[in-house]
Amino acid sequence: MFNFVKLNYRELIIALIFTITFIYLKTKAIKLKKDNNELRLKVEKLENKIILDENEYKKLNSDNNEFISLVSHEFRTPLTSIMGFTKIIRKKFSRHVIPALEDKKLLESNEKLSYQVELIKGNLEIIISESERLALMIENILDTTKIDFGNELGKCEKLSIETIINKVILSTYSLIGERDIEVFDLIEANIPYVYGDEHKIMQILINLLSNAFKFTNEGEIVISAKRQDKEFIIIEVKDSGIGIPEKYQNLIFNKFKQVESKDGDKPKGTGLGLYITKNLVKQHGGTIGVRNNETKGCCFFFTLPIYKGEEL
């Protein structure tokens, strides 16, 4: 009897331990289930938020595109009138007004009149060049807005960098003006084709070349291109201008960063050109940088992917 009770007591203890463990585990399981449900709800909430954010982003992007289209139209139309009419006035003035004054020998005899005529001619040139500057600024601001909202490249295809460089040199030749600057290209023989958006690659080169013209008064500007490795070609735009102080070299690719001019004049331009250029190179999967030449001027270099018969 004693033995039986003893045995039963043991079993009771074991049963008790089992029961306690069972209750503990059951409570834990219920709590875990509750936590799990809470977590699932949280995940669902987060998922919904992501969908909402995505929709919000899409809406923002479409608002932005609408804004770009509105700004381009609303700014460009009056600018077209200002630039167009000024050019017509300039033409009519030099074709009709000046010859008529010269015919009557008024310009020779009247110094004041002759001075006023020169003043009008000069002022018309200022209106035209400032309007052109404004047009460029609008373009740069729109390009920046597009980049900031992640606009993709246009049509990418197999391209000859030599053809593009030659086109760019020709189209920017007029920027030399009266200065004694020689521009030439140095393309490695059998350079491979590149893969990219022709319009955007031209924009990269035009931006770099215009910059080189802006800071070079005499000497030469060389655009060279050669294979860098299996993946990329490297293109360099080397000028013999004033160079860029080292402390600015990393900054100039940022938005609105411009090198202070030595004469203390406010630098011309928007401070967006190199930011746009950097992003266009990045969109192609390339890299961009600048260094000063050993002797004079600086050298901007960037890489573009080699065409491999397939898309990037």
Partner 1 sequence: MKTKILIVDDEAPIRMLLEQTLEEIEEEFELYRAKDGEEGLKIILQEKPDIVFLDVMMPGLTGYEVLDKIKDKDELKDIKIILLTAKGSTEEIEMSNRYNIYLYITKPFDPDFIVEKTLELLQ
Point out which residues bind partner 1 (CB under 8 A): 68-69, 72-73, 76-81, 83-85, 87-88, 131, 135, 139, 142, 154
Nearer to partner 1, 101 or 135 (CB): 135
Nearer to partner 1, 49 or 92 (CB): 92
Q: How far is the CB of 89 from partner 1 (least distance, A)?
A: 10
Nearer to partner 1, 197 or 239 (CB): 197
Q: Report yes or no: 213 and 171 within 8 Å, Cβ to Cβ.
A: no
Nearer to partner 1, 18 or 85 (CB): 85
Nearer to partner 1, 142 or 272 (CB): 142
Q: How far is the CB of 86 from partner 1 (least distance, A)?
A: 10
Q: How far is the CB of 145 from partner 1 (least distance, A)?
A: 12
Q: How far is the CB of 150 from partner 1 (least distance, A)?
A: 14
What would the DSSP string read from start to end of the chain?
-HHHHHHHHHHHHHHHHHHHHHHHHHHHHHHHHHHHHHHHHHHHHHHHHHHHHHHHHHHHHHHHHHHHHHHHHHHHHHHHHHHHHHHHHHHHIIIIIHHHHHHTTHHHH-HHHHHHHHHHHHHHHHHHHHHHHHHHHHHHHHHHHHHHTTPPP---EEE-HHHHHHHHHHHHGGGGTTSEEEEEEEE-TTPPPEEE-HHHHHHHHHHHHHHHHHH-SEEEEEEEEEE-SSSEEEEEEE--S----HHHHTTTTSTT--PPPTT-PPPSS-S-HHHHHHHHHHHTT--EEEEE-SSSSEEEEEEEEBP-SS--
Q: How far is the CB of 195 from partner 1 (least distance, A)?
A: 18
Nearer to partner 1, 73 or 230 (CB): 73
Q: How far is the CB of 162 from partner 1 (least distance, A)?
A: 25
Strand-pair partners of 237: 223, 300
- 15: tokens are 């049963």
Nearer to partner 1, 80 or 250 (CB): 80
Q: How far is the CB of 50 from partner 1 (least distance, A)?
A: 28
